[in-house]
Amino acid sequence: MRWLLLAAMMLAGCAELGLGDGTSISVGKPSNGYLRDGVRLPDRGDGWVTREVWRTRNNRFGTDELVDLLTSVAHRMRGQVRDVKLVVADLSGKGGGERVAFHRSHQTGRDVDLLYYMRDANGQPFEPDAMHVFDPTAHAVDGSGLAVDVPRTWALVKELITAPEAPVQWVFMYEPIAQRLLEHAQRTGEPDAVIARARKTLKQPGDSARHDDHLHVRIYCSAADRAYGCVDIGPMELLAEREAEPSQLAVLAAALAHAPGAPTSTPGATGALVAGSAAVGGAAVGGALWLPLRRWR
Ligand SMILES: [Zn+2]
């Protein structure tokens, strides 16, 4: 085992020297750390866009996992929401750390601000132009007539917390809006397991902005980054839950076994979340044929 230890030490040494392991590395805590070899999220893409104010700040860097999560979730949201795009505000600055202006966290490439989906005064879909502060009834306080689109924002949260690309630890959000999302989820018969996970993930932070004008997503450290000093703050429960899920490969096999014309069925692959993941596996069958195994494992 000594060679293994030696190899690990050399790798850690390389990271210290800036050579890295060929992927992004999130180092330290979200509010005291930095980002090495981060990826820049383009200003627009399939299903998402940013606005001038955030483009100019250039806090657009994240870990591989975060950027993968954002582009994938935006792409999947586009299948449900065709008339407006997801508006992505700040990630981290290049290199992260305290250079990130306007934020206390956002230092390690694992945080991103997203705008709520909105509707205008006539109830029509409205692609967010800027952050608007919402009151407890989810209506803008600035007289613009805008309101949070609860069903679409719930759909976004659901995509985030079930995404295979990265495990989401927190979706920071104004409590009254979170309550509305959860009520909507219950009313529309979303699976109990998804609602339970949403309850654990949605949180109005006690020590910072109450997030009444945007939502803030934080992902867990990847296992590889943890070895380089990435530190998660707060409960690890959701990560353990995600790691206990069947692997993408098992889900794909189960989906294939349950496909029409399949010779036999595979026992054991039941449960709401499994069914949700099977849809992802099914999409892979018809689409890209192969989804890479979750990188954070
Ligand atoms: Zn934020």
Considering the domain boundaries, does residue 162 fall inside one?
Answer: yes
Distance 296 CA to ligand 1 centre (A): 22
Q: How far is the CA of 103 from the centre of ligand 1 (A)?
A: 7
Residue 295 lies in a domain: no
Query: 211 and 129 in one domain?
Result: yes
Q: Are residue 167 and residue 45 in the same domain, yes or no?
A: yes
- Ligand 1 ion: residues within 5 Å (CB): 113, 216
* Alpha helices for the chain (secondary structure H): 2-17, 52-57, 64-78, 150-162, 175-187, 192-201, 223-227, 237-243, 248-258, 272-286
Whether residues 136 and 256 fall in one domain = no
Domain count, the chain: 2
Cβ 174 vs Cβ 204: under 8 Å: yes
- pLDDT tier for residue 211 given thresholds of 50, 70 and 90: confident
Residue 250 Cα, ligand 1 centroid: separation in angstroms?
A: 35
7 and 128 together in one domain: no
Nearest to 105 by CA among 207, 203, 23, 175: 207
- Residue 174: other Cβ atoms inside 10 A: 24
Ligand 1 geometric centre to CA of 201 (Å): 15
17 in a domain, yes or no? no
Indicate whether 297 belongs to any domain: no
pLDDT for 246 beyond 80? no
Residue 137 covered by a domain: yes
| Cα of 3 from ligand 1 centre, angstroms | 42
**pLDDT-wise least confident of 156-170, 180-194, 280-294:** 280-294
Q: Which domain holds residue 62?
A: 25-243
Determine the distance separating the centroid of ligand 1 and the alpha carbon of 52, expressed in angstroms.
Answer: 17
Q: Are residues 147 and 270 in the same domain?
A: no
Residues 90 and 213 placed together within one structural domain of the fold = yes
**If you measure from the C-alpha of residue 111 to the centroid of ligand 1, how many angstroms do you get, rounded to a whole number?**
6
Domain-embedded: residue 51: yes
Do 203 and 260 share a domain, yes or no?
no
Tokens of 4: 């293994």
Residue at 296 is within a domain: no
Residue 288 pLDDT level (bands cut at 50, 70, 90): very low
271 and 211 within one domain: no
- 155: domain CATH number is 3.30.1380.10
Same domain, 69 and 168: yes
Q: Is the pTM of this model over 0.85?
A: no
| Same domain as 176, residue 115 | yes
d(CA 115, CA 147): 12
Are residues 269 and 239 part of one domain?
Answer: no
Q: Mean of the per-residue pLDDT values for the chain? A: 83
Asked whether residue 20 is domain-assigned, the answer is no
Same domain, 77 and 127: yes
Structure tokens at 254: 């189960």
Report whether 281 contacts 251 (CB < 8 A): yes
Ligand 1 mean position, distance from CA 43 (Å): 18
pLDDT digits (tens, 9 = 90+) for 103-162: 889 999 999 999 999 999 999 999 999 999 999 999 999 999 999 999 999 999 999 999
Q: What is the tens place of the pLDDT at every residue in 223-237?
A: 999 999 999 999 999
